């Protein structure tokens, strides 16, 4: 007999790092993502970035949801562009793992939430492109790269949310103040996605796929705000609920 999914497994791909005390290479992820998922009723599973496709698929098939976290820049070859001088260093293994997981999730209906780099991974996985550096490629843009000059919870700008979107229903408001720690952004929107939030300078701050049970990307960092802001907490609660439904409805 199938067991009901109470605590849906939420995969959170990790990044390569070298900040362990010994200097040994490690895989890591920010605690705020893990804590936001846990508080929303999910069971977070950190996954390594150096897996071959068979091992990755074995993990994916046991997940009920996928959270694509923030991080460094995707290599622009993944959207067919030469590297811009202001594009940051990329991590090929992480790029491949996250793009693969994103493509599977989008094609098969696994609930997926993309945050910061994560919205960019979703857009590129589905065939879209990115601004490699907002400040040098978008004349008149606001300052979106507020970290490390400002705290991670610093509310840098408003976003206007489309009234008929899933995001507006979750947040319960059409204007919301957000933090902003990105120097890249969605440029050409991928087929299948809709823009559902923009910054005052017109930059894309959220996208959704309405033909998917839950595929949402936000350019800000709700995991840093969830403790103090109920609308940001609801983002994780709705995502985890969608993952729980997936776990209960998908054939196992
Ligand atoms: Mn922003």
Q: What is the mean pLDDT of each run of 10 residues along the chain (252 residues)?
A: 82 89 89 98 96 97 98 98 96 97 98 98 98 97 95 97 97 97 98 98 97 97 96 98 94 54
Of the residues 87, 116, 157, 208, only one is catalytic, namely 116
What's residue 5's pLDDT?
A: 83
Question: Which residue from 239, 221, 238, 86 is spatially nearest to 157, judged by alpha carbons?
Answer: 221
Active site residue 223: yes
CATH of 9-250, one of 2.40.30.170, 3.40.50.880, 3.40.50.720, 3.90.110.10: 3.40.50.880
pLDDT at 251: 54
Quote the pTM value.
Answer: 0.97
How many angstroms separate the alpha carbon of residue 42 from the centre of ligand 1?
A: 27
Q: Which pLDDT does position 22 carry in this prediction?
A: 82
pLDDT at residue 1, as a whole number: 45
CA distance 31 to 203: 28
Residue 5: CB atoms within 10 A of its CB come to 18
> Rounded to the nearest whole angstrom, what is the distance from the C-alpha of residue 146 to the centroid of ligand 1?
9
């Amino acid at each position: 007999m199938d067991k009901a999914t109470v605590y849906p497994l939420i995969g959170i791909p990790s990044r390569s790092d070298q900040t362990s005390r010994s200097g040994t290479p490690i895989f890591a992820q920010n605690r705020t993502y893990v804590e936001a998922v846990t508080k929303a009723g999910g069971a977070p599973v950190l996954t390594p970035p150096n897996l071959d496709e068979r091992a990755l698929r074995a993990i994916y098939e046991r997940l009920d949801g996928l959270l694509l976290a923030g991080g460094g820049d995707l290599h622009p070859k993944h959207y067919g562009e030469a590297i811009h001088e202001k594009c940051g260093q990329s991590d090929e293994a992480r790029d491949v793992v996250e793009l693969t997981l994103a493509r599977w999730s989008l094609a098969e209906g696994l609930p997926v939430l993309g945050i910061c780099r994560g919205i960019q991974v979703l857009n590129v996985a589905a065939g879209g492109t990115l601004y490699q550096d907002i400040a040098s490629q978008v004349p008149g843009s606001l300052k979106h790269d507020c970290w490390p000059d400002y705290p991670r919870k610093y509310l840098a700008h408003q976003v206007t949310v489309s009234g008929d979107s899933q995001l507006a229903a979750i947040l319960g408001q059409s204007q919301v103040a957000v933090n902003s720690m990105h120097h890249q952004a969605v440029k050409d929107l991928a087929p299948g996605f809709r823009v559902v939030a923009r910054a005052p300078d017109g930059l894309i701050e959220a996208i959704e796929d309405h033909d998917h049970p839950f595929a949402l990307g936000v350019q800000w960092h709700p995991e840093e705000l969830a403790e103090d802001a109920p609308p940001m907490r609801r983002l994780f609660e709705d995502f985890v609920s969608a993952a729980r439904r997936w776990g209960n409805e998908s054939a196992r």
